[in-house]
Amino acid sequence: MSRFRVRYVPIFVGDEPTIPDRRIIEVKELLRPDEVANILRISRSTVYFMINTGELEAVKVNGKYRVKASCVRRIIDGDVEKG
């Protein structure tokens, strides 16, 4: 028996059930910045930078940013226009 255990690291922390990061864009229409960061494998600060520069389309809900899942899908699919 090995002394080391494989530890499951959840993608999302909190009360939400863990959903594989790529699949979440099929389930939810609006994503939190930390969810977008997990999906795109970038930092949260980069997500906020992309929101501020208009690369990611976001709305404010109760004073907090939510990113449109369709925008994240376009980035993953490579359908982003370069300026």
Q: What confidence tens digit (pLDDT) does each residue in 55-64 have?
A: 999 999 999 9
- Cβ-contact 11, 21 below 8 angstroms: yes
Alpha carbon of 49 to those of 9, 20, 31, 69, 82: distances in Å? 27, 24, 16, 17, 16
CA angle 52, 58, 60 (to 5 degrees): 100
Domain assignment present for residue 17? The answer is: no
pTM of the model: 0.68
With respect to residue 69, please indicate whether it lies within any of the assigned structural domains.
yes
**Total tally of structural domains belonging to the chain:** 1
* CA 60 to the chain's CA centroid: 16
Query: What are the pLDDT digits (tens) for 8-64?
Result: 444 554 555 555 566 777 778 899 999 999 888 899 999 999 999 999 999 999 999
Q: Write out the residue range of the structural domain in which residue 68 sits.
A: 24-77
pLDDT of residue 83: 42
* pLDDT of 66 over the 60 cut: yes
Residue 61 lies in a domain: yes
Flag whether 64 is in a domain: yes
